[in-house]
């Protein structure tokens, strides 16, 4: 396979999607360009050409791609540019999210050569906490190579899902708490995908999508979900989704 420059474009609050896309890009590209939409409220304006290769990625929120991610993808335009559409989900289901992302890419001038729904650690509870694992990433690399090698005249990729898409994409209703360990460093404020955290590092607005990025990134572990309501939900959800699901690839 002739290796090419690959551009990865992702909305990835907790890093699952980013890690997956990096593995795919490494398998097909001599050079990787990263466009991180996670904390970029507007998203960049960028025009890709026919000889570019782009990998789009987003997590699944309630069976859809996050509404915030969709808005940020709209500034990216293709000229029959080959691409991959990838969603990551927490072992429940990806529902209409993969179809939605592929449709979005096509509407922006990209040609979808492959699509993937891959499992990563769920935001809530203790669900598939070690994923994507080494085997997952090996599968991702193999898929990316096969997709990149597909001829231009190959049939369109058939992707499961429904149109109209199901309701979803807005995120959850849980709001992280802040303990006395907080030193007001401001990292959570700067990195919040929705700018939902006030300058006091404690106040959280209804713009929050419950991605728990602030919990994962806090250097003092001050952000938390130590409430009875959440802990009960997390235990139930962890038990419900304990059986491992496998990645799905569409070429």
Give per-residue burial for 26-46: e unless 16+ CB within 10 Å, then b: bbbbeebeebebbeeeebeee
Q: Is 11 left (phi over 0), alpha (psi -120 to 50) or beta?
A: beta
Residue by residue, pLDDT tens for the chain (251 residues) are 566 789 999 999 999 999 999 999 999 987 789 999 999 988 899 999 999 999 999 999 999 999 999 999 999 999 999 999 999 999 999 999 999 999 999 999 999 999 999 999 999 999 999 999 999 999 999 999 999 999 988 889 999 999 999 999 999 999 999 999 999 999 999 999 999 999 999 999 999 999 999 999 999 999 999 999 999 999 999 999 999 999 999 99
> What pLDDT shows up at residue 32?
87
All residues at 6 or more sequence positions from 214 whose CB lies less than 8 Å from its CB, including other chains: 176, 188, 191, 192, 197, 223
> What pLDDT shows up at residue 3?
62
Which residues does residue 119 pair with via DSSP β-bridges, in sequence order? 89
What is the reported pTM?
0.96
* Three-point CA angle 104, 91, 148, nearest 5°: 45
> What pLDDT shows up at residue 217?
95
Q: Is 19 left (phi over 0), alpha (psi -120 to 50) or beta?
A: alpha
* Three-point CA angle 144, 148, 154, nearest 5°: 120
What letter does residue 70 receive in the DSSP assignment? H
CB 108, CB 73: distance < 8 Å? yes
All residues at 6 or more sequence positions from 221 whose CB lies less than 8 Å from its CB, including other chains: 181
């Amino acid at each position: 396979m002739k290796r090419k420059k690959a551009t990865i474009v992702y909305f990835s609050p907790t890093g699952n999607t980013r890690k997956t896309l990096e593995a795919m890009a490494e398998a097909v590209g001599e050079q990787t360009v990263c466009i991180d939409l996670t904390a970029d409220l507007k998203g960049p304006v960028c025009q890709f050409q026919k000889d570019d290769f782009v990998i789009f990625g987003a997590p699944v929120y309630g069976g859809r791609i996050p509404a915030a991610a969709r808005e940020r993808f709209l500034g990216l335009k293709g000229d029959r540019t080959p691409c991959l559409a990838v969603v990551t989900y927490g072992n429940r289901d990806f529902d209409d999210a993969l179809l939605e992302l592929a449709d979005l890419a096509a509407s922006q001038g990209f040609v979808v050569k492959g699509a993937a729904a891959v499992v990563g650690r769920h935001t809530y509870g203790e669900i598939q906490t070690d994923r994507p694992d080494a085997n997952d990433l090996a599968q991702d690399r193999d898929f990316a190579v096969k997709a990149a090698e597909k001829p231009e005249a190959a049939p369109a990729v058939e992707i499961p899902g429904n149109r109209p898409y199901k309701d979803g994409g807005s995120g959850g209703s849980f709001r992280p708490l802040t303990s006395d360990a907080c030193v007001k460093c401001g990292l959570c404020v700067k990195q919040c995908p929705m700018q939902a955290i006030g300058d006091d590092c404690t106040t959280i607005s209804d713009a929050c999508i419950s991605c728990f990025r602030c919990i994962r990134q806090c250097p003092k572990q001050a952000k938390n979900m130590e409430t009875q309501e959440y802990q009960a939900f997390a235990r139930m959800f962890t038990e419900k989704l304990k059986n491992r699901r496998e990645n799905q690839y569409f070429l």
